[in-house]
Amino acid sequence: MSFKLRVPCAVSVAVVVGSTGSGWAKLGKHDDDVWEAEVDLSKVWGTGGRVAVCAAYESSADTYSTLLEYTT
């Protein structure tokens, strides 16, 4: 699935796949704070699994904030 979103001031954006958060896919940054990537959701699609879009706002931070979360 394609993810493309604008996240102003973020230093890292990732899609977390699965209820345990074991699958992280980092998005690549483009111009104007646009982040983009193709992420494989086949393991959770139709299973009620969790998918979340998360962002970090400090370069030294290991903490990500959840921007969007949904169930497949």
- Neighbouring C-beta atoms of residue 17, cutoff 10 Å: 24
Note the pLDDT of residue 9: 93
Proportion of the chain above pLDDT 70, given as a percent: 93
Across-strand partners of 16? 24, 52
Whether 64 and 12 have beta carbons less than 8 Å apart is answered as yes
C-alpha pair distances (Å), 7 with each of 42, 47, 52: 25, 28, 14
**Is 32's pLDDT higher than 80?**
yes
**Is 5's pLDDT higher than 90?**
yes
d(CA 14, CA 57): 12
Structure confidence by residue, pLDDT tens digits, 34-63: 999 999 888 888 888 889 999 999 877 678
Q: Which tops the pLDDT comparison, 48 or 25?
A: 25
Note the pLDDT of residue 43: 82
